[in-house]
Structure 1
Amino acid sequence: MSERYLVKKIAFFNPQGNFDKNDSHLTEHPDFGGQLVYVKELAKAMSELGIEVDIITRQIIDKDWPEFAESYDYYPEAPNVRIVRIPFGGQKFLPKEELWKYLPDYVEKIYEFYKSEGRFPDFVTTHYADGGISGVMFLEKTGIPFSFTAHSLGAWKLEKLLESGMSQEAAEKKYKFSVRLAAENLAIKYASFIVCSTNQERYEQYSHKLYEADPYIDKFKVIPPGINHKIFNQEPKPEDKQINDYIEQLLSKSPVKRHRLPFIIMSSRLDRKKNHIAVVRAFLQNEDLKEKANLLIVVRGVNDVLEYVSRERSEDALILEEIIEEAGKEIGKSVFFANISDQKHLASLYRVSAARGSVFVLPALYEPFGLAVVEAAACGLKIVVTKNGGPAEIFSNGEGLLIDPTDTKDIAVKLLVALEKFDSRRSIELAQRYSWKNTALGYLENIQRELSESHGIRSVDEKDLKKFYDLIAKL
């Protein structure tokens, strides 16, 4: 299949988080979020089209992160994908905000790695701002072009934090926005093309005053991400019975009349911006809603939420503590927590719950795309989702109900409408359009054009990189 393409080998630059064959920590940590799922699935889809793919990430030799100590790893189902872990920034795990000053070393070692192999990639895809600036440095060193996929843009995160009351100084200290914005602007300038998930991301997000970008030029491409249809579908699987038994166990101590009610499901990472508490309040404050459904909050790796909250002070524990305080005696009666450890069991939860007429809700204050929503739709759940961001475009024709995530009354009303009147068939049909193969083909079409026409930028102004180096020297 790769004979169709000039590109034979692609490197993915993703310095933060990590990848391994068991998907350890995936989606349960801020540095292991949806971006890593995107990179993994896109890499696998490209490999199925005959492309050799290297995911270039960071080697971590840390007893708390034992999965990432080896230099190489593989996905058994994708022999053409290689995970390459580059040693930089010391051995311990570092959050992404602490990686900036080590990125020149990351790029230098990638160069040395490929030089030792005697073969460089034909093209690089870069992910998030740290991957993007790494692509700029690698372009300067090798002349190999790259694409940039931001996944989320720093200017909008900064704006939301300032609106929430955080000071500019505190935001800068914690998130290093001056460096992130500089990295994003250089990635925008030097990328051969920029991948956006939605038109909203292209025309609105990149129009922010902090970016030197013109989203109306052809350099910007809208290529929607996909979902894994082998996992997220309506076909019964062996895990479904296990999940059904687990649900019955969760409900066993609740009143009998609640045992067959549909669920309102939240399953995004426990993060303030995901706004779980708004749905909890909407549910508890509306007696009609509470009478017609149970609220189910998915957690990962936590069997006893009460015990977890009593001993941990992490952000997710504090969010759970707030939910528990709000729900009070409804915990175990109408509000439940489910420990779902992987995507197969999550898909089973969706299927089993869909048979009850359940609803998936994502009340995020802002959601760039919303892959989790499309996954839930593919399994037959009814959809209620934030109007802020990509979901408003994806579900623009009535495939789901859009909510104001700051308005608990609006959330409650839409959840009731979904439970009582909504038909999930249209959202199921919509989900079929989103596949990783289509995403991979979108990338490869643009890479082919870049390599065949050679119209992209193949050199970097040293002054631009010097400004970036000066910024990270101050960290």
Structure 2
Amino acid sequence: MHILHLALGGCLKAAPVRYGVTEDTGGHIAYVLGAAMAQAALPQVASADIVTRAFDGMDPIHAQAVEEVAPGCRILRLSTANRAYLAKEALEAELPALAEAFCAMLGGMSQKPDVIHAHFADAARLARTAQKRFGIPWIYTPHSLALQKDPAAASRPDLRDRIAAERSAVEGAAAIIVSSRDEAERQLRPYGKAAEGRSHCVSPGVTLLPDAGSAAADALLAPFLRRPDRPIVLAVARPVAKKNLAGLVDAYAASPELQDRANLVILAGLREGIDGGPAEQAQVLRGLFDRIDRHGLWGKVALPPRHDAGQLRALYARAAQGGVFVNPALHEPFGLTLVEAAQAGVPVVATRNGGPVDIVAQLGHGALVDPGDAAQVAAACLRMMDDPQ
């Protein structure tokens, strides 16, 4: 069997991935890489490749046509006349050219894929074109749906085309693969009845680096913290408004007890200065620094500008020493970092809105909170830190 994953957005490459280097380089890339490598290792799968978009101006690997990931797993890149990196919102105009490039790639394959797995609605458009031309069936994973971003999303002109594309993907796919019951039973419901009976929940797992202790985390955090020996409240998320990192700082600031017992550590992507990235990222970062300054939290909060996979693993090990991991998102479709934290032995506090409901239920431990209630978030952190189990 030959499986072809199709994911166009973000900086998709073989590990190590610089998560957060752009606002679209997030959990879906870990999902796609993990799924393809796991499938390639199955005896019934000859190959599980990933198709993404080629571009210039960043790591040269993103301009390379073929990249080996693992035995039976490659990344294949589509080239068009536009060689610039494009954020998700800017990909729309490039989709016709990408569809032609994708069909040309498929046409040159001696062995066509048995199935295409489209990630996000933009990839679903390419998959639909390929089905019409070659008869290849396709399945769809939404990852993040516009109608969950904002209660008023359906009336927002800037989201109208995205919502229509997502509805078309839901209606046209042979099957829909989601990560949680919340996605299947609630998040897809506003898109109509087309998903009923065709949605399959497959909970993704994670593969952590080996535990090498917390020394790398201690070195990373030392320049920021007055009392680096204290446990840490850890959050890992892209610096976008929906991740509600500002709400976490507010919760920490509102709890003198939490401040006395733990430092707050936020990995908000990778940055080269506050204004070195997209406008939303800059706005979120300014908001974080403003809150830290106004609440007098310097020396208690660490916001490292850069980190690598080894340092992240060490931070999980550090948080496992009496700390807690927090996902305070306004809405989280799934939440792979919660699975990572739990696998590393860190208790979790998570938003009650979205996939974390399923994760906490499967863990049999953790706390779900209203992300807009600062007191509730702080209290849950303290409660998890006090639970020896």
Q: Same fold (TM over 0.5)?
A: yes
Larger Rg: 1
Which residue in 1 is equivalent to 2:349? Answer: 384
| Partner SS state of residue 260, structure 2 | helix
| Partner SS state of residue 361, structure 2 | coil
CA offsets per residue over residues 128-151 of structure 1, 9 Å max, x none? 011112211111111110111110
- Residue 73 of structure 1 contacts residue 82 of structure 1 at CA under 8 Å; is this kept in 2? yes
Structure with more relative contact order (C-alpha pairs < 8 Å, separation 6 or more): 1
Establish whether residue 236 from structure 1 lines up as the match of residue 211 from structure 2. yes
Which residue in 2 is equivalent to 1:352? Answer: 318
Deviation at 1:361, TM superposition (A): 0.7
- Residue 240 of structure 1 contacts residue 352 of structure 1 at CA under 8 Å; is this kept in 2? yes
After TM superposition, the structure 1 = structure 2 runs for residues 398-409 of structure 1, keeping only pairs within 5 Å, are: 398-409=364-375
Which residue in 1 is equivalent to 2:148? Answer: 156
Q: Which has more helix, going by share of residues? A: 1
| Partner SS state of residue 204, structure 1 | helix
| Partner SS state of residue 71, structure 2 | strand
| Partner SS state of residue 50, structure 2 | strand
**How far apart, in 2, do the equivalents of 1:117 and 1:312 lie?**
38
| Residue 168 of structure 1, aligned match among 127, 149, 156 | 156
- Residue 133 of structure 1 contacts residue 184 of structure 1 at CA under 8 Å; is this kept in 2? no
Establish whether residue 56 from structure 1 lines up as the match of residue 51 from structure 2. yes
**How far apart, in 2, do the equivalents of 1:313 and 1:47 lie?**
35
How many percent of aligned residue pairs carry the same amino acid?
29
Deviation at 1:396, TM superposition (A): 2.7
Establish whether residue 31 from structure 1 lines up as the match of residue 24 from structure 2. yes
Which residue in 2 is equivalent to 1:288? Answer: 257
**How far apart, in 2, do the equivalents of 1:178 and 1:296 lie?**
37
User: Which letter does structure 1 place at the counterpart of 2:202?
Assistant: I
Deviation at 1:14, TM superposition (A): 1.1
User: Which letter does structure 2 place at the counterpart of 1:354?
Assistant: A
Which residue in 1 is equivalent to 2:231? Answer: 262
After TM superposition, the structure 1 = structure 2 runs for residues 310-329 of structure 1, keeping only pairs within 5 Å, are: 314-328=279-293
Q: Which moved more, 1:50-59 or 1:334-343?
A: 334-343
Deviation at 1:340, TM superposition (A): 4.9
- In structure 2, the CA distance between the partners of 1:275 and 1:161, relative to structure 1 (3 Å rule), is farther
CA offsets per residue over residues 32-91 of structure 1, 9 Å max, x none? 11111111111111111143022111111x33453311211122xx13111111113611
**How far apart, in 1, do the equivalents of 2:308 and 2:278 lie?**
24
Deviation at 1:321, TM superposition (A): 1.8
**How far apart, in 2, do the equivalents of 1:313 and 1:32 lie?**
13
- In structure 2, the CA distance between the partners of 1:312 and 1:136, relative to structure 1 (3 Å rule), is closer
Deviation at 1:31, TM superposition (A): 1.8
Unmatched tracts of structure 2, length 5 or more:
none
- Residue 89 of structure 1 contacts residue 102 of structure 1 at CA under 8 Å; is this kept in 2? no
Aligned CA RMSD, in angstroms, stands at 2.3
Establish whether residue 87 from structure 1 lines up as the match of residue 79 from structure 2. yes
- Residue 65 of structure 1 contacts residue 93 of structure 1 at CA under 8 Å; is this kept in 2? no
- In structure 2, the CA distance between the partners of 1:268 and 1:312, relative to structure 1 (3 Å rule), is closer
After TM superposition, the structure 1 = structure 2 runs for residues 70-219 of structure 1, keeping only pairs within 5 Å, are: 70-75=64-69, 78-88=70-80, 90-159=82-151, 168-169=156-157, 172=158, 177-208=159-190, 211-217=191-197, 219=198
User: Which letter does structure 2 place at the counterpart of 1:226?
Assistant: G
Unmatched tracts of structure 1, length 5 or more:
1-7, 426-475
- Residue 403 of structure 1 contacts residue 414 of structure 1 at CA under 8 Å; is this kept in 2? yes
Structure 1 runs of 4+ aligned residues shifted over 6 Å read: 310-313
- In structure 2, the CA distance between the partners of 1:13 and 1:409, relative to structure 1 (3 Å rule), is same
| Residue 200 of structure 2, aligned match among 215, 221, 233 | 221
**How far apart, in 2, do the equivalents of 1:89 and 1:107 lie?**
13
**How far apart, in 2, do the equivalents of 1:318 and 1:394 lie?**
30
**How far apart, in 2, do the equivalents of 1:248 and 1:94 lie?**
36
- In structure 2, the CA distance between the partners of 1:409 and 1:158, relative to structure 1 (3 Å rule), is closer
Deviation at 1:109, TM superposition (A): 2.1
**How far apart, in 1, do the equivalents of 2:378 and 2:192 lie?**
40
| Partner SS state of residue 29, structure 1 | coil
Deviation at 1:390, TM superposition (A): 0.8
**How far apart, in 1, do the equivalents of 2:309 and 2:326 lie?**
17
| Residue 328 of structure 2, aligned match among 331, 342, 363 | 363
- In structure 2, the CA distance between the partners of 1:289 and 1:207, relative to structure 1 (3 Å rule), is same
- Residue 211 of structure 2 contacts residue 313 of structure 2 at CA under 8 Å; is this kept in 1? no
